[in-house]
Homo-oligomer: A and B are copies of this chain.
Amino acid sequence: MAKMSSPTETERCIESLIAVFQKYAGKDGNKTNLSKTEFLSFMNTELAAFTKSQKDAGVLDRMMKRLDVNSDGQLDFQEFLNLIGGLAVACHESLTSSRKFI
């Protein structure tokens, strides 16, 4: 985005989400999709705190399957955003529900 002023927080987020997707999608083969290996690499690096907190070893497999809406064994950018959105909603709900008890 070519602009004179510095980006707002929301613009920075949009740029970051694109950059992080391209970083992991570019690790092998098709650069416009996350393969299962690239998805695992993303989850174990960018969302390591979440991933390590999961006691069930099959959770990433199930997440990949649920996110892969068109069942092509890969995640495109829209499918990747559904993951980010799902985590953000869970985070937001946990914050707003805990506030009710304060």
Contact = CB atoms under 8 A, between A and B. Distances in A.
Copies of this protein in the complex: 2
A59 interface: no
A77 to B, nearest CB: 5
Chain A: number of interface residues, binned into ranges: 35 or more
A1 B32 contact: no
Interface of A: 1, 3, 5, 8-21, 32, 42, 45-49, 77-78, 81-82, 84-85, 87-89, 91-92, 95-96
Given A11-B47, A48-B8, A18 B77 contact: no
Nearest to A43: B10
Given A78-B89, A81-B89, A85-B85, A10 B20 contact: yes
